């Protein structure tokens, strides 16, 4: 094992939220290892650059991490900080998630200038979201609403709302809270009303698998309960194919020695929706995730999966 480096470089996206997240990790590392120099390496990703098409149309959320992984591979950076929900279910060979930071609020937030909740929106009210998961659930529970695509960073999205392009937005509560934008939140949607994305609210730190020195260094930042729940969520997603074209939601919550795991699969128009909840041993998160995937398939998700476009 190589000696721990005196200088650590963190690869990060350039958005305000990504920089907040990476600075947060940097501060935690500086507090643990004050003798080490911590630097950020801001990078532009294809997911940030292509804003006129949905993520599913251009290759999925993995487009937010590829450039960061390349910086790890060629030695320009030691670690990369990601929103866990942006990390593909299967990492490229030679990479690993070395730490999961304690999860922030995993719920979705209802954001509007004029309305207090989804129920208050008028017939054909326009809701903006970039997520197939949110779109499918909105269309299923509120078929009278118009759900339109929404891309760009949080500030861009809020400007579009204030300009009247949308009546409301559904955004991750965690991102708004981290950026000090909670005043825009009119209400928070329960995890039953809007099942969160896999890993929503959690930060993941990625390193090259060979860097055992970094894995040891990052251990104090790992939050065990978050790690176990997110591992179960990611296993369920893998068991369902993890397609960027699939409206999929999985959320785990630690309850004593068990994880309570809820999953949902739907068609994009919300006309078909399958949901299931299982509990299992928190020491075997991947097993529980695989069981949930199998349960969802048996309840009708298999038919939805067969409708997905060939990739």
CA gyration radius for the chain?
19
Which architecture does CATH list for 224-311? 2-Layer Sandwich (3.30)
- The residues of the chain that CATH labels 3.30.160.40 are 224-311
- Cα–Cα distance for residue pair 15/270, rounded to 1 Å: 31
168-172 and 126-129 beta bridge pairing:
parallel
The CATH topology of domain 1-102+202-222 is D-Maltodextrin-Binding Protein; domain 2 (3.40.190)
- Does the pTM surpass 0.95? The reply is no
Tens of pLDDT, residues 155-185: 999 999 999 999 999 999 999 999 999 999 9
Task: Give the integer Cα–Cα distance in Å for 297 and 276.
Answer: 10
* Fold observed for domain 108-189: D-Maltodextrin-Binding Protein; domain 2 (3.40.190)
How far separated are the first and last CA of the chain, in Å rounded?
40
**Active centre residues (catalytic):** 86
Residue 138 contacts by C-beta under 8 Å, 6 or more apart in sequence?
Answer: 118, 127, 129, 145, 147, 170, 270
The ranges of the chain annotated as CATH 3.40.190.10 are 1-102+202-222, 108-189
CB 87 within 8 A of CB 161: no
311 residues of the chain, pLDDT tens digit each: 455 678 999 999 999 999 999 999 999 999 999 999 999 999 987 555 454 444 454 444 556 799 999 999 999 999 999 999 999 999 999 999 999 999 999 999 999 999 999 999 999 999 999 899 999 999 999 999 999 999 888 999 999 999 999 999 999 999 999 999 999 999 999 999 999 999 999 999 999 999 999 999 999 999 999 999 999 999 999 999 988 889 999 999 999 999 999 999 999 999 999 999 999 999 999 999 999 999 999 999 999 999 887 54
Query: In this structure, are residues 153 and 18 in contact, taking their beta carbons and an 8 Å threshold?
Result: no
């Amino acid at each position: 094992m190589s000696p721990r480096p005196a200088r650590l470089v963190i690869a990060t996206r350039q958005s305000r939220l990504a920089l907040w997240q990476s600075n947060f990790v940097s501060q935690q590392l500086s507090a643990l290892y004050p003798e080490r120099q911590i630097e950020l390496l801001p990078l532009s990703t294809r997911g940030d650059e292509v804003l006129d098409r949905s993520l599913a149309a251009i290759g999925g959320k993995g487009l937010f991490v590829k450039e960061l992984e390349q910086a790890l591979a060629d030695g320009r950076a030691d670690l990369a900080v990601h929103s866990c929900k942006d990390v593909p279910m299967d990492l490229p060979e030679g990479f690993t998630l070395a730490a999961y930071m304690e999860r922030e609020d995993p719920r979705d937030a209802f954001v509007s200038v004029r309305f207090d909740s989804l129920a208050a929106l008028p017939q054909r009210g326009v809701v903006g979201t970039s997520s197939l998961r949110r779109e499918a659930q909105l269309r299923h529970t509120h078929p009278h609403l118009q759900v339109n695509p929404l891309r760009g960073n949080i500030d861009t999205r809020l400007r579009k709302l204030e300009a009247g392009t949308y009546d409301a937005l559904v955004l991750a509560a965690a991102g708004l809270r981290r950026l000090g934008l909670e005043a825009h939140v009119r209400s928070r949607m329960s995890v039953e009303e809007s099942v969160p994305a896999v890993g929503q609210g959690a930060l993941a730190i990625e390193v090259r698998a060979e860097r055992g020195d970094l894995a040891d260094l990052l251990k104090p930042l790992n939050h065990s309960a978050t790690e176990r729940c997110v591992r179960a969520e990611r296993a369920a997603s893998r068991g369902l194919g993890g397609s960027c074209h699939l409206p999929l939601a999985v959320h785990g919550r630690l309850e004593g020695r068990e994880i309570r795991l809820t999953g949902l699969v739907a068609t994009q128009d919300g006309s078909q929706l399958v949901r299931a909840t299982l509990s299992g041993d928190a020491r075997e998160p991947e097993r529980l995730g695989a069981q949930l995937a199998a349960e969802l398939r048996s309840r009708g998700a298999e038919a939805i999966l067969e409708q997905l476009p060939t990739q």
